[in-house]
Structure 1
Amino acid sequence: MPSDQFFHDDDDDAYRSGGLVAKNTAGDNAAPLSISEISNLLKRTVEDRFGFVRLRGELSGVKRAASGHLYCALKDDKAVIDGVMWKGGAQRLAFRPEDGVEVIATGKLTTYPGRSKYQIVIETMEIAGEGALLALLEKLRARLAAEGLFAPERKRPLPYLPQVIGVVTSPTGAVIRDILHRLADRFPSRVLVWPVLVQGEGAAAQVANAVRGFSAIQPGGPVPRPDLVIVARGGGSIEDLWSFNEEIVVRAVAESTIPVISAVGHETDTTLCDHAADRRAPTPTAAAEMAVPVRAELSAQLADLAMRKRRCALRPVTLGRERLEARVQRLPKPEAILAAKAQKLDELAERLRRGLRDEARAKEQALHKVAASLSLPLLRHRVQVCDERLGRAGLTPRLLERRWALARDALAPVNRVLPQLDPRLPLQRGYALVKTTGGAALTTRDAAAREGDLVIEFRDGELQVTAGDVASVPSSPAPAPRPAGKPARPAPGAPRQGDLF
C-alpha cells in the first residue's frame, strides 16, 4: 500500500490511531492549548467556583516572611492544603498562629501555576472553638513557664503605702471608677491612669506599651514615677480577655521594674498576665484593697503602738516605785536611827553649856585679881617714871639739825662733780654723739658700719643718716706708747680740754 494512502483514510480512524505529525482535521474544534492557557483556565475556574470558602483544619508549617506575609498549611487526618495570608490580614490577627492550633480560615481558593498547586488565600483566621483556644493558651503558658516568667522567686513584695499608683485600664469603663472609689474609702492616694483598649485589635500592644511606659518614667521628673502598677479590666469570655494572654503583654508585665497587680476579669477568670504579675487580684476592687491599707486601721494601730510605748516607758517607773516601797518598808524608822545620836547631841550640848559657864567664872575671878592691882595711885606713879626716862633720853632739835648738816657737807662734793659727768656736756664744745635708731650709743666704727641707719646728735639737734652714704675713712695708726711718767703733749694748734674739776 502506498504510503500516502494512510493519510487519506477515514478521519475518525486517523484521529484514533494517531500519527507521526499532528494535523488539524476538518471539523476538529479541540485545538491544543498551551500550559499557561490551561493554568489560567484552571485558575479562573477554581476562583469562580470557590471564591468564598471556610476551611477548618490544623495549622502546620507556619512561617512569616520578611515581607510580613504569612505562609502555612491546613490539614486534617486525610488531606492538606497550602495557605497564604497577605501582610495586611496577618497584622490584624487577634492571636499568634502556631503549629498544631486548630483554626477556621476564611478566604478563596486559587492556583499557583508555577508549581501546578492550588492553595487558599486566607482573609481571616479564627481559632476553631473554645477548646482549640484553650489548647493554644496552655501551649503558650507552658512555653513561657519554661522560660521562668511565672517563677515564684521572681515575685516582688508590694510597697506598704504607695504614694503614686499607676492604673492601666480603659478610661470609660466601670473598672477605673471602682478602683478610685475603693482607694478613696481606704487611703486616698495619687492615681495616674494610662488609657488603653482592653479588648479587640491593638489592645495587647497598648497594654504592653503602657506597662513599659510606667517603668520608663524617671524619678524626680515632671510626671511622678508610680510605686505600684495595676493592670485591670472587667470580666468577660475567654475571647474578651485574650489580649491579656498575649505574649507581648505577659513579657511586659514580667519585665516591669515596678511591682504589678493583675486584676483581669472576675474571680474565676485567669489569664497569663495574672501568672506574670507580682500579685493577682480576683477583681479590680480587690486590687485597690491590696494596693493600700485602711487609713482608719492605721490610725488605730498607731494609737495602739503609742499606748504600748507609753506603757513600756512607764513600766520601769512603776516597777521601780514598787521595789522602792518594798525596800522602804524593810528599812528601820528614822527616829530609831537618830535616837542615839540625838541623845549624844543633847549630852554634848549640856557639857558645852557647863564648860562655858565654868570658863566664864574662872576668867571673871582672874579679872578681879588683876583689877585689884590696877589702882589710880599706882598708874600715876608709872606715868611719872616713864616721863622721867623720856627726859633723860636727850632728844633735842639741835641734835637733829647737826646730823643733817654733816650729811649735807658730805654730799656737796658729789653735787659739784655730777654735772661734769653728763655725756651731752661735750656736745657744747663741738663733739657729736653717734647712736642707733633705738637710742643706743655706738663707740666703734665697726658697730656703726653694721647698722643700716644712724642718728648723730649735735648740740642743736639730731641728724639721721644711712651708714652706706658715709664714706669710709681709714683709721689713723695708733700712737706710739709714751714713756712712763711723761704726760702727752697736745699737738700744736689743738684745742685744750678744760679741767673737769
Structure 2
Amino acid sequence: MDDLFEDDGPETGGNAHEYSVSELSGAVKRVIEGEFGLVRVRGEVGRVSRPASGHLYFDLKDDRSVIAAISWKGQAAKMAVRPEEGMEVIATGRLTTFPGQSKYQLIVEQVEPAGAGALMAMLERRRAALAAEGLFDAARKQPIPFLPQVIGVVTSPSGAVIRDILHRLRDRFPRRVLIWPVAVQGEKCAAEVAAAIRGFNALTPGGAIPRPDLIIVARGGGSLEDLWGFNEEVVVRAAAASAIPLISAVGHETDTTLIDFAADLRAPTPTAAAELAVPVRSDLMALMAEQGARLHRAVLQRGQMRRQRLTDLARALGRPEALVAPARQRLDLVGGQLDPALRGATAARRAGFERLAGKVGPQLLTGFIGAERRHLAQWSARLAPALGLRQERARQRLADWSGRLGPALARAGAEAQRDTARKAATLAGLAARLDAAASGRVQSAAERLAALDRMRLTLGYRETLRRGYAVVRAGAHVVTSRAVAAGAGALEIEFHDGRLPVQPGPGASQPALPQPEIPHPEAPSPKPRKSRSGGSDGGQGSLF
C-alpha cells in the first residue's frame, strides 16, 4: 500500500503526485486483485448472455447488490453446471477490474448450484397454483384461425418487435393489424397488458373498430426481471379468459413465462408468432394452382377411363339388328292375331248385351217403382210415432222445467226480500248516525260559541270593572291622566254597577290618595267603610 502513494519527487508547493488515468486504474486493479485473489460468492443469477465469442456473461445479485461476472470461453466449457437465470449458485473466482468501463467484476472459474433463486421459487409456486386451477389445461386451448381477417397485437409501439411482426405479415399474407400500445416491462406492464387483452375481447363484432380474430402478445428478450410482468397473475388470468385465440410471443426461445402456459399457442419469438398467425400467400397460391392442375388431370383421366369402359361394354352388346330382330318377329305374330281377337271380343260383348236387353221391359220398371213405394210407406209409418215420441219428451222436459221454476222464483223473491231488509236496516242505521252526527255537530258548535262568548266577556272592560277598577270620563272622552282630570269641569266615573257624576273640588290639583289596605290571607275581609258622601265604598275609594 505504501508504494501506491509514494512521491517520486520533491513536493512542489505542497501538491500531491499527479497520476494518469491508466496509472490510477492499474493501481486500483492491483489492490483489488491482491486483496481478493480467490473468493467464493453466493447469489442469484441475473441476466445471462452468451455471445458468439463463447464467453459467458451474467450477474450475481442478492436483495441489495449486484456484481457483474464473466467466465471465459475455456472456463465456461469446463463448467459442470451452466448458470441459468434465477438459479442460486456459489461462484468461485477472483475479483478484478475492467478499466475500459471503470467497474469491477468477478472472473468465475467454477459454479456450484446452491438452490433455486427467490424469483424462480416464487415463479414455480405461482405456476403450480394456477395450474391447479386448471388455467393451463389443454382442454381450454382454442384453435388458431387459419387465415384471420384482423390481428390484434399487444406490444410496445416503439420497439423492433412490432416492426418485425408487421414485416413478416406483409411478406407472408398481408392482414389488417390493430396495435394496442403497452409498457412491456416495469410496474405498469402487467396492468396494461391485461387491460389490452380484455379491451380487445370487449370490442363489438361488426362495430366501428373491428374485433380481432387473433391476439398476439409480443415482447423481445430480456432478463427474468424484465419479463416479470408477463408472469403476473392478472396477465395469466386475462389470457386464460380471452374468448379470442391468443398467441404468446414473449422473449426468445429459451425464455418461458406464465403467459406461455395460459395462451392458446406459444411462439418462440415475435417473428415466429407472425409466421404462425398467417400462412404464406405465395405458397397458398402455388398449392391452389397445383391442386387445380391435379383436378384438371383427374377429370381428364376419369373421362378417358369412362369413355374406354363404355367402348368395351359396347363391344359386348352385339349388333343392334340382332337384338331387335326377335322382338320384331314377335310383334308381327301378335299383330296378325290382334284383328281376329278384336272381332271375337266384340261379338261376345254384343251377345251378352242382347241377353240383358231382352230382360229389360216395362214390368221391370214397374217392379222397381213398387219396391220403392213400399219402402217409402214403411218409413212414413215409422215417422208419425217418432214425431209423437219426440213431442212427448219435449213436453215432459218443459213440465220439469216449469215445476222447478216456481221454487226458484220463490227462493229468488225471498232472497230479494232479505236483501231489501238488510239494506233497509243499513239505511236506518246510517240515518240514525246522520241525525246523531248533525245533533252532535250543532251541540259542539253551540258549546264553542258559548265558550267564545265567555271569552269575549272575560276579555271585555266590564269584567275588569268587576275586579275593582273604574273608568273616568270627561264628557265623551276617557280621562287617562291627572292633568286632564284637573282641567275638566265635570267628571263621570263608571263602576261595574253604574255611573257616578263627580265635581272636582278646590284641592283637586293635589288630591290625597288613600293607601289601599291589603287584607291578610287568613283574616276576614274588612267591612266596607263609609265614603265622604255618606255612601258605601264599592271596593274602590274615591279618587278625589
Q: Judging by fraction of residues, say which structure has more helix.
A: 2
TM-score in terms of structure 1 length: 0.41
TM-score in terms of structure 2 length: 0.38
